[in-house]
Amino acid sequence: MCGIWALFGSDECLSVQCLSAMKIAHRGPDAFRFENVNGFTNCCFGFHRLAVVDQLYGMQPIRVKKFPYLWLCYNGEIYNFKQLQKQFGFEYQTLVDGEVILHLYNRGGIEQTASMLDGVFAFILLDTANRKVFLARDTYGVRPLFKVLTDDGFLGVCSEAKGLINLKHSTSLCSKVEPFLPGHYEVLDLKPSGKVASVELVKFHSCKDEPLHVACDTVEALPSAGFDLETVKSNIRILFENAVRKRLMAHRRIGCLLSGGLDSSLVAAVLLKLMKEININYPLQTFAIGMENSPDLLAARKVAAHIGSEHHEVILNTEEGIQAIEEVIFSLETYDITTIRASIGMYLVSKYIRKKTDSVVIFSGEGSDELTQGYIYFHKAPSPEEAAEESERLLKELYLFDVLRADRTTAAHGLELRVPFLDHRFTSYYLSLPPELRIPKNGIEKYLLRLSFEDSNLLPKEILWRPKEAFSDGIASVKKSWFSILQDYIDQQVDDLLLEKAAEKYPFNPPKTKESYYYRQIFEKHYPGRSSWLPHYWMPRWVKATDPSARTLKHYKSATQE
């Protein structure tokens, strides 16, 4: 996890523009470099480093003797860089996993490069010999990337939007800063003036497609094919374990977020098992946050005791949570209701990890709800086929919601997030399964995932079959949910009259509640006129929901009242 920033064709003094690069300093607390491009005085790279792999030669932009005309700034981890080296005979100059991008590009161009990378990434690649700039982002947008391109060819690229919104230029940049689409690469021509022109934007991978890099995976072929239940369960276990194993690549201490729900518990259990197998000689630290005796804290405690992790609990008090709202919204760059609610706990637990421990590489369970149909509203899906379509839609939009939350809340405190449920191979296999296999069964969501691990003894049965609890709800008590606590506070902060006129003040995605109005006000304070970054609010489907919380849905209420 790092912060990348680059400008091409700047009209303003670069030493002034460089101040914008400092807006993302939190992403790389270990080192910073600002470097001009030879022969292009108005082009430059900025890089904030979190040293996780190759602490000696890991500074960027990466340049190697073999390709003096290539400049690379990337944020992410490429898990198959050693396998690619073996397959193609690459001679690496550093131990940095991202160096493989230079070799792949030299061998087969940008299309092959993006398609063969097994990992999470956002990168800027400059080829001065062929006068090209390339941008690319991983399938699910686990690593963030924003860009601004003016009509006259000035390009700014950054890990977070906040590093671009105050750039100086002769023409206005207003409303042109936008997220770079996941699963895409862009080719731009670099003119002698340093300005650029976009040539094409290409989608190189869809979540349903088996990735090209399967040939370079540690599990090359699954032992058995077909969709009979035992085969499917075995393949799910093999691929999930493989997803966790490849993410153990780190020179810094590994930790794991543990809410006590199915997803984070499975990640923690498999992670600890694999750490023992490869003789990592420190205990796994797991981290839970919640109010005193909240469901998450109690469940996480059970899991930690079962797997034998060094467990840390962060007690959330209401005042601390409310005080964090503004800095959370500033970090997130969104005003989505459910994203903000869930981010407060994650932001505060990340703050604790940074201050009180030496864990830096943090595993988490993001992506499972979207992939394995974990949201409670999936019980109301009209058909297995529609549920499958909804699952794909949610995965495509992860970069706007859960993946955005997970990245920004951890990156704000200089931590690196790893999300095995979003492994390309694992997700493409799960999505290839017949729709009727993936739907909730017997009133239980994620039924297939739970069933796959039932005989593994990785988790206590009551955790493996624990019903879905949204992170923002699980951290509070059963009697009063976190969203109710927030709403009670905000009710006192927003006048009824302001809400009545909300649609006039904010015509795009107008706030319908005092809570959403309050968040929108804070967002507009920091990012005025940028409301289009959020195309729509996250809300459940197939139910008449007025609030995104699972606790407002009938299925949750009936389950808790039994």
Give 137-176 pLDDT, tens digit per residue: 999 999 999 999 999 999 999 999 999 999 988 766 555 8
From 312-326, 427-441, 463-477, 509-523, the region with the lowest mean pLDDT? 463-477
Tell me which residue has tokens 């006039």.
Answer: 504
pLDDT at 425 over 90: yes
| Spatial distance between the Cα atoms of 104 and 125, rounded to a whole number of angstroms | 12
Which of the listed CATH numbers 3.40.50.300, 3.90.850.10, 3.20.20.210, 3.60.20.10 matches domain 3-203?
3.60.20.10
* Cβ neighbours, 10 Å, residue 177: 23
Instruction: Reduce the DSSP state of residue 246 to 3 states and report it.
Output: helix
* pLDDT (average), residues 203-210: 94
Active site residues: 2
Residue 151: closest CA among 169, 167, 135, 168: 169
* Cβ neighbours, 10 Å, residue 335: 26
| pLDDT tens by residue, 286-341 | 999 998 888 889 999 999 999 999 999 999 988 999 999 999 999 999 999 999 99
| pLDDT tens by residue, 207-231 | 999 999 998 887 878 877 789 999 9
Domain ranges of the chain: 3-203, 228-472
Sheet hosting strand 31-37, strand order edge to edge: 31-37, 40-49, 3-8, 155-158, 146-149, 178-179
What local confidence, expressed as pLDDT, does residue 473 receive? 58
pLDDT at 56 over 70: no
Instruction: Reduce the DSSP state of residue 274 to 3 states and report it.
Output: helix
* pLDDT (average), residues 435-458: 96
* pLDDT (average), residues 248-264: 94
**C-beta separation of 496 from 521 below 8 A:** no
What local confidence, expressed as pLDDT, does residue 560 receive? 44
| Spatial distance between the Cα atoms of 292 and 286, rounded to a whole number of angstroms | 18
From 27-36, 388-397, 463-472, 539-548, the region with the lowest mean pLDDT? 463-472
Mean pLDDT (the chain, rounded):
91
Tell me which residue has tokens 């924003």.
Answer: 146
Where in 50-129 does DSSP place strands (E)? Answer: 70-78, 119-127
What local confidence, expressed as pLDDT, does residue 548 receive? 74
What local confidence, expressed as pLDDT, does residue 34 receive? 85
In percent, the amount of the chain with pLDDT more than 70 equals 93
Residues of the binding site for ATP: 257, 289, 364-365
Question: Which structure tokens are listed for 499?
Answer: 């809400």
* pLDDT (average), residues 496-525: 96
* pLDDT (average), residues 499-510: 97
- 292, with CB counted inside 10 A (0-12, 13-18, 19+), is exposed
**C-beta separation of 288 from 311 below 8 A:** yes
The CATH superfamily assigned to 228-472 is HUPs (3.40.50.620)
pLDDT at 562 over 50: no
What local confidence, expressed as pLDDT, does residue 477 receive? 60
- Beta strands 253-257; 359-363: pairing state: parallel
pLDDT at 405 over 60: yes
In percent, the amount of the chain with pLDDT more than 90 equals 78
Report which residue type is found at 299.
A
Top-confidence range, 39-43, 92-96, 202-206: 202-206
What local confidence, expressed as pLDDT, does residue 535 receive? 97
Residues of the binding site for L-glutamine: 97
